[in-house]
Structure 1
Amino acid sequence: MANDLSTPLTGRRARRRAGRRFHFPLARLLFLLIGLIIGGVVVRMIMVDDPDGGRPTSEVAITSTRDGNAVANSVSSGPATITADPAQYPAGNTPAATPAPPSGQIPDRFGALPDLVEETAVGAIPRISGTGLSPFAAYRYPFDTTAIASTPMVAIVVTGLGINEQGSLEAVDQLPAEVTLAFAPYGRSLETTVAAARTAGHEVMLELPLEPFDYPQNDPGPHTLLTGEAPRANLDKLFWLMARFGGYFGVINNMGARFTASAADLAPVMEELGTRGIGYLDDGSSNRSLTAQLSGANKVPYGRATQVIDANPARASILSALASLENQALETGSAVGIISALPISVATVAEWSRELAAKGIVLVPASALMK
């Protein structure tokens, strides 16, 4: 210790410099190695033409199957004759031709045509195309009632679909295509259920939640159109509801006794439906409804249900209500019945529809009875 303290400072600095001369430069070597790797990669990218980045590839010969389909070949090489199933379209009850989609138009996942939609902040909503084709004309079931104008006709509308996916799909499978299906705007599986319904040939409707007299104790759901609100607020709600799915030819009210009795609140909604070429079906639950008058003033295709079929959801009661619906059709020429999507209601109506033709009554889609 004494020697170190007495050693001149210049001697201690010299020893430190000597120790530093043998320090291993590890950091510098690591930086050099990283630089060499990066440089090698860059050189390879410049010198080697390999768009796959070194990934293994293989070539497989593709054999055309174009000539393997005789029907496709006959259609592509010349005109083909297709005969409709007489059991599906009996004589005197042939559906009218479905309006042809605009040239180059590809339906979306719901079957909606691009020319018949308008993009908004809340999604795509229906509109009349530039050529004048309306959603009502494009999406309704193409049923021609001219040949059966003197025959009693009955329409059935199933409401509340889309909430229960499995139940909705079962209803689509069980019911004949002439039955109209109305979907609530709140289902999480609307893409699946609406597409299944339209693929099976059913025409579909959108349910609009409208304010009842005992609101909010009885609440139809979110975005309910309310009396006393500014027209713009209700139209914003309407657009949100209309954007939930596409391919529907019209709307039907869900509740709404107070709203449909208020001309000031209902008129802007009817005007919007008329402008967009959408039909309106009143469920017939309120005698105060002004929908008939306002639909006529705004050129909205209109209809009104005459009876709720499953007010008592029991098979015997449903059959009794269906018999009453038949009598209405025999007396007045037509009748529209409303049922819910309950399994007992769907099964009973499916069974009843198979015997309807034998009674001299024709099952028609709801749009066929809308003026």
Structure 2
Amino acid sequence: MANDLSTPLTGRRQRLRRGTGRTHFPVARVLFGIIALIAIGVVLRLVLVDEPNGGLPTIEAAITNTRASNSVADSAASRPATITADPMQYPAGTMPSDAGVGAETGPAVSNAATILADLTEETSNGAIPRISSSGETPFAAYKYPFDLASAPGPKIAVIVTGLGINEQGSLDAIGQLPDLVTLAFAPYGKALEHTVAAARGGGHEIMLEVPLEPFDYPQNDPGPHTLLTGEPPRQNLEKLFWLMARFGAYTGVINNMGARFTASGADFAPVMEELGSRGLGYIDDGSSNRSVAEQLATSNKVPFARAGTVIDANPARASILSALASLEAQALDQGSAIGIVSALPISVQALSEWAAELDSKGIALVPASALMK
């Protein structure tokens, strides 16, 4: 007993361990070894295994389009690149993806259904029109090839505006309207490539709607990138370039609102000068008597026309038919007339029915470009 009391504590512990027969298990060393093995395995996998996804789980899923497709555009996209159609319809240097659109419908138009590379300039905003190296203008290349000599009598041109925002509504309108009707597209649609291709495939000449500042802006706002009075010309031109890059193959532009802007020569002049240098036309929608568009177009050699009648200012069938009758009277009195109509279903239907009977009245329906000076 005295011995145990005088023995150091370490010696007592050793005797106790020998007495019980238990051994110490090195848990910490084992855990460290396991962790080391795991780390070595990860490093070897990264070095030796070619796995670009890093071991992330992957799955393959089919992508389907629930949108109602355009049969003309879809059939063109699925065709081989070799083209055996009329060579005048698909001139050399055109883009096959665009040239195929409208191959089964519409007239055999040389350039109206294509975007010509030589008439395109790449910018930071996208491709915008320009005059070609040979001097050909987008206005001349993309207009409907109408022979004025074939219509010596009174002539009427109708421009349908507001297309492109509602895709299905635009496609329905394009399907109903005769190809001599000019179509103007707003620059804000999500499926502009689809709807514009359908219009070009149907033989229509097309225009770009450009939002211009009205007198009550911003209470009445024509949309993003509106050209404004009092801003530096460069800033307005940058907006114009963005708008011009939304789609291609248009003959020119038409204003959307803009009573204040079109009345300001200082603000409007740089825009009209740009249109002239790029070979584009301009149509004034006739909404403002203070517009200086005609003077600026003349000085910049821009093909120009001014619309005289808003056909569906009152979007009721009786009022639309009355406006169309007034348009006929104007054409009989002055030799020609231009009307503006929106893409409302009731307006499109009334216009289509009216156009079918126009020839019997001795009046020719013509594209807008045919009446632009």
TM range (shorter): 0.7 to 0.9
Question: Counterpart of 2:93?
Answer: 103
Q: Relative to 1, partners in 2 of residues 1:146 and 1:226: Cα closer, same or farther, differing over 3 Å?
A: same
Q: Could you state the TM-score of these two structures normalised by the residue count of structure 2?
A: 0.75
Q: Which residue of 2 aligns with 1:67?
A: none
Q: Which of 147, 160, 169 is residue 144 of structure 1 equivalent to? A: 147
Name which of structure 1's ranges 198-207 and 27-36 shifts more when overlaid on structure 2.
27-36
2:216 is aligned to 214
Summarize the alignment of residues 238-257 of structure 1 with structure 2, pairs less than 5 Å apart.
238-257=240-259
- Measured after TM superposition, the shift of residue 303 of structure 1 is 1.0
C-alpha distance in 2 between matches for 1:282 and 1:156: 13
SS of equivalent to 2:248: coil
User: Is 1:131 matched with 2:134?
Assistant: yes
What is the match of residue 263 of structure 1?
Answer: 265
Give CA deviations for 1:240-284 in whole Å, capped at 9, x if unaligned. 111111121110011111211111111100000001111001111
Distance 1:316 1:268, change over 3 A: same
Once the two structures are superposed, the pairs formed by residues 268-307 of structure 1 within 5 Å of their partners are: 268-307=270-309
The 5 Å alignment of 1:126-205 reads 126-148=129-151, 150-205=152-207
The separation in 2 between residues aligned to 1:198 and 1:212, in whole angstroms, is 31
1:183 positional shift: 0.9
State whether residues 164 and 196 of structure 2, in contact with CA within 8 Å, keep that contact through their aligned partners in structure 1. Answer: yes
Distance 2:239 2:37 in 1: 68
Does the Cα contact within 8 Å between 2:94 and 2:114 map onto a contact in 1?
no
- Which residue does 2:106 correspond to in 1? none
In the TM superposition, 1:1-40 aligns within 5 A as 5-7=9-11, 26=34
Displacement after TM superposition at 1:236 (Å): 1.1
Residue ranges of structure 1 left out of the alignment (5+ in a row): 43-71, 83-96
1:234 aligns to what? 236
2:311–2:339 contact (8 Å) kept in structure 1? yes
The residue that corresponds to 1:114 in the other structure is: 117
Taking every aligned residue pair, what percent have the same amino acid on both sides? 63
Pair 1:10–1:135, CA change in 2 (3 A): farther
Q: Distance in 2 between matches of 1:123 and 1:40?
A: 44
Secondary structure of the equivalent of 2:305?
strand
Contact 2:94–2:117 (CA<8 Å) still a contact in 1? no
In structure 2, C-alpha distance between the alignment counterparts of 1:323 and 1:39, rounded to whole Å: 81
CA distance in 1, matches of 2:306, 2:192: 25
Give the whole-Å Cα distance in 1 for the aligned partners of 2:313 and 2:354.
Answer: 17
Aligned residues of 1:111 and 1:195 also touching (Cα < 8 A): no
- The change in CA–CA distance for 1:208 and 1:4 in structure 2 (over 3 A counts) is farther
Aligned to 1:50: none
Take 2:284 and 2:168, find their aligned partners in 1: how far apart are those partners? 27
CA contact (8 A) 2:95 2:114 kept: no
What secondary structure, in the 3-state scheme, does the structure 2 residue paired with 1:137 have? helix
173-182 vs 106-115, which moves further: 106-115
> Match of 2:210, SS?
strand
Aligned partners of 1:81 and 1:190: how far apart in 2? 27
Report if the CA contact (8 A) 1:106-1:114 is conserved: no
Structure 2: state its 5+ residue gaps.
51-79, 102-112
Amino acid corresponding to residue 115 of structure 1 in structure 2: D
How high is the TM-score relative to the length of structure 1?
0.76
Aligned-pair distance for 1:134?
Answer: 1.3
